[in-house]
Structure 1
């Protein structure tokens, strides 16, 4: 009886927590000062200190345990001759209440902070097709230069003799270099790991994620090596409190751009190029074909290899996982959902305009 009462109280608290978050969302400056640059810094550092040294993902083990508990509870529920729907409702509500609280306390409130564009004083104005094409041409030229500096041959696919473990280690050097320019992106204490769910992640179409409970950055170890540095830096951006996907991509671009490692420069530049070319393809397919011809053949081989990798794992379930993630983002005040990834191009072009056209 006492347990049933606890379930009811926790379910009621879920509604109160939701209402409280809605109120907090109206005060992004408060979140920025007291949570993102206050409480969160201590929570995230503490979690990385106690779990970062583990060679495996503790957060993934929590997920596995949670899945087992949920499946077992469902099994027990249907095994009973009479299903107590009311009891089941409050049990689910209690679990959801605990998860809601831990998620927002440990990381989720970062969704409510002011936008990165306002923080870095970057305009958020829509770009014209002309600006998009001009920027993409500059980016193609820069990417070609980086590619040639590594291969000394514009037709060769980059085959870098570096392990993914070394890439993960070097990513922190990239953030140290970025912090000399933007101190707000300072990253301390490593907690970056391969995901135990890399195979299912690939089938779902995801390259990585941050565990909001343990603050461990998880990377899909199956993804192609040439895009691995940008993915790692993307997850590290989440780890320092950059929540929206487009903003995490942009910080990843900045980290790889300012890195002293040409391989990181290349990974970040090709990531940005993919977003720009995809945007042009949607708007002007003929212009896309013209721009594609300006790329080094070695880069085209790289882009094709990446596309073939993801296509080889495409399946019927991917769209449902993407739909779920889209709903998750919208529930966390990301009104554009998964389409928010395209805001990366807006950040890139407006940043390019204020940085005196320096790529």
Structure 2
């Protein structure tokens, strides 16, 4: 009986190793994952989860996380005496829990990290010349300025989004219904978007939102500047459609927002693109974005300042830690550029627009 009990303690930790190896092997077969998981199992099961939890006025996933965090803290406090002395037993318990989470993470959503990359499916060349980036920057600035004046009727006034978060969540679906024909597979149905109950911790962690892979609820940080909320919402919805890559979610979220009939959605998308264009210009040469920055309306610059001030207020060592953690998490899940992958959507956008012109 004692031997059997020892074996049981090792089953889940051993299964964790098996799972990791299996996932790494499956990563070599993106076509299989694309056809049988991302286009087969996942759309059906994720729609079921959104149907189950989408109607709730609160985030069920956040409540679930809250309970789990409470139970974890309670377990640690209960076992604090001799915790490290019993490291083998406690280590096996931790690995057993990790094994369960690892399985459900990949089963319910995580395998989307290993599907066929979007640039391959759409035959997009992500590489671009400096002139391409400069041309896109000019275009994004012009669009941002135009929309800022249209919304405020004054080029020196910051845009203040007049909608509630609930209204933004409802309207976000319009842009997905209007996606170009070659992206119709990412049309969004069965809404499940929530204000995160952990918006304060998310702010300290540096996150504007996230997808709960276990409930398929899109979580949005409601504390951050509201003018950015339409784009954040569109980005998290892209995760719900089965996209793992952050650059691809930025790309799909951008296209969904600019194809929305609402000016606030378009403004959020174009101003976000401007910031990423500036970041990429600075990577090429320090100070290269300055001449373009001077072309923005004062109202747009005020929105940028509002965003920068907000995130600086929450900049702590906690933020630095989670940036490091999430950077490595992304690198371990097919996104070799880590956090830099967010800005890589500019290459996707340039290549996609070139394809549209040539076609």
The normalised TM-score by structure 1 is 0.95
Gaps of 5+ in 1: none
| 2:64 matches 1:62 | yes
Offset, 1:72: 2.3
Residue 115 of structure 1, CA deviation: 0.8
**Separation of aligned partners in 2, 1:181 and 1:33:** 17
The answer for the alignment partner of 2:245 in structure 1 is 244
Alpha carbons of 1:80 and 1:311: their partners in 2 closer, same or farther (altered >3 Å)?
A: closer
Equivalent positions of 1:345-356 (< 5 A) are 345-356=346-357
Q: Secondary structure at the match of 1:317?
A: helix
Asked if residue 93 in structure 1 is aligned to residue 95 in structure 2, the reply is yes
Matched residue, 1:34: 36
Distance, in Å, in 2 between the alignment partners of 1:67 and 1:52 is 23
SS of residue paired to 1:193? strand
1:187 Cα deviation (Å)? 1.1
Residues 1:20 and 2:22 are matched in the alignment = yes
Aligned residues: 357
Q: Hey, what does 1:324 align to over in structure 2? A: 325
| Matching residue of 1:157 | 158
Are 1:326 and 1:337, in contact at CA under 8 Å, matched by a contact in 2?
yes
2-structure distance, mates of 1:273, 1:357: 24
Match of 1:73 among 52, 75, 79: 75
Comparing 194-203 and 148-157, the one that deviates more: 148-157
Residue 288 of structure 2: SS of its match in structure 1? helix
Whole-angstrom CA distance in 2 between matches of 1:244 and 1:93: 27
TM-score w.r.t. the length of structure 2 is: 0.95
Q: Provide the C-alpha distance between the structure 2 equivalents of 1:187 and 1:56, rounded to a whole number of angstroms.
A: 20
Structure 2 SS opposite 1:319: helix
- Separation in 2, partners of 1:210, 1:160: 23
Answer whether contact 1:7 1:93 (CA < 8 A) is retained: no
1:187: which partner in 2? Answer: 188
**C-alpha distance in 2, partners of 1:224/1:181?**
32
Partner of 1:218: 219
Q: In the alignment, which residue of structure 1 is the partner of 2:203? A: 202
- CA shift, 1:244, in A, is 1.0
Q: Partners in 1 of 2:68 and 2:295 — Cα distance?
A: 50
1:284 aligns with 2:289: no
Checking the alignment, whether the CA contact within 8 Å between 2:83 and 2:90 is kept in structure 1 is no
CA distance in 2, matches of 1:95, 1:81: 17
Tell me the residue number matched to 1:261.
262
Q: 1:139 — aligned with what?
A: 140
Residue 134 of structure 1: how far off its partner (Å)? 1.7
Residue 233 of structure 1: aligned partner: 234
**RMSD of aligned alpha carbons:** 1.9
In structure 1, distance between residues paired with 2:153 and 2:43? 43
Q: Residues 299 and 305 from structure 1, CA distance in 2 versus in 1: closer, same or farther, beyond 3 angstroms?
A: same
Shift of 1:233: 0.4
Aligned to 1:51: 53
* Residues 179 and 185, structure 1, Cα contact 8 Å, conserved in 2: no
| Cα distance in structure 2, aligned partners of 1:192 and 1:14 | 31
Q: Quick check: 1:36–1:241 contact (8 Å CA) kept in 2?
A: yes
**Distance apart, 1:84 and its partner CA:** 2.5
Residues 143, 266 of structure 1: 8 Å contact kept: yes
Q: Which moved more, 1:170-179 or 1:265-274?
A: 170-179
Q: CA deviation at 1:258?
A: 0.8
Q: Could you tell me how far apart the structure 1 residues matched to 2:154 and 2:355 are?
A: 33
Aligned to 2:10: 8
